[in-house]
């Protein structure tokens, strides 16, 4: 399921990048794709749901709830795509996106503690890659989001 999740995410990223160029954030694709903006919540929800299955299977029993908390905020972000509207939908979008990023890092640390601290090396290596991409393209929010998206895949690929 992790591979399916990754393919959905990467396919969507490639699609909107080819159609709209490099955006300021992943969420901006909702607006940039205009009539096809519905692809943003669909792809994000499918990505999070299919990843949740894989993350739940991989997470040791005492802290399986961290697996849920890694993916659930991303699903909330998907269901509140109109972040520019302000109001409740904007607040839900931004808060759940931030919460999901922080919790995915906590999950990565938990998995590293449970299996091997070397797992964090993959997270750190991805951080260096996305930092270098940010230096080249000056899209800090976008590459921070991509880095947060990448933690679970990096961990699942190495355990």
Q: What is the pLDDT of residues 49-106, one digit of tens each?
A: 999 999 999 999 888 999 999 999 999 999 999 999 889 999 999 999 999 999 999 9
> What does the radius of gyration of the chain's CA atoms come to, in whole angstroms?
15
Cα–Cα distance, 96 to 116 (Å, whole number): 29
Mean pLDDT of 98-125: 91
Cα–Cα distance, 66 to 57 (Å, whole number): 12
Lowest mean pLDDT among 41-45, 111-115, 125-129, 140-144: 111-115
Mean pLDDT of 30-42: 97
Over the stretch 15-25, which tens digit does the pLDDT of each residue have?
999 999 999 99
Residue range(s) defining the domain that contains residue 19: 2-158
Query: Is pTM beyond 0.75 here?
Result: yes
Mean pLDDT of 140-154: 94
Question: pLDDT-based confidence at 117, cuts 50/70/90?
Answer: confident
pLDDT at position 63 = 86
pLDDT at position 85 = 86
89-101 per-residue burial string, b: 16 or more CB within 10 A, e: under 16: eeebbeebbebbb
Count how many domains the chain has: 1
pLDDT at position 99 = 94
What percent of the chain shows pLDDT beyond 90? 89
């Amino acid at each position: 399921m992790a591979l399916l999740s990754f393919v959905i995410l990467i396919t969507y990223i490639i699609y909107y990048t080819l159609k709209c160029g490099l955006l300021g954030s992943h969420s901006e694709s909702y607006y940039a794709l205009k009539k096809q903006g519905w692809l943003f919540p669909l792809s994000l929800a499918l990505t999070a749901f299919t990843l949740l299955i894989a993350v739940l299977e991989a997470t040791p029993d005492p802290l399986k709830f961290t697996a849920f908390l890694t993916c659930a905020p991303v699903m909330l972000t998907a269901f509140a795509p109109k972040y520019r509207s302000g109001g409740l939908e904007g607040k839900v979008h931004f808060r759940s996106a931030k919460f999901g990023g922080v919790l995915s890092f906590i999950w990565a640390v938990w998995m590293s503690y449970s299996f091997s601290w070397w797992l964090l090396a993959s997270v750190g290596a991805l951080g260096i890659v996305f930092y270098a991409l940010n230096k080249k393209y000056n899209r800090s929010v976008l590459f921070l989001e991509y880095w947060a998206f990448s933690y679970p895949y990096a961990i699942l690929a190495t355990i």
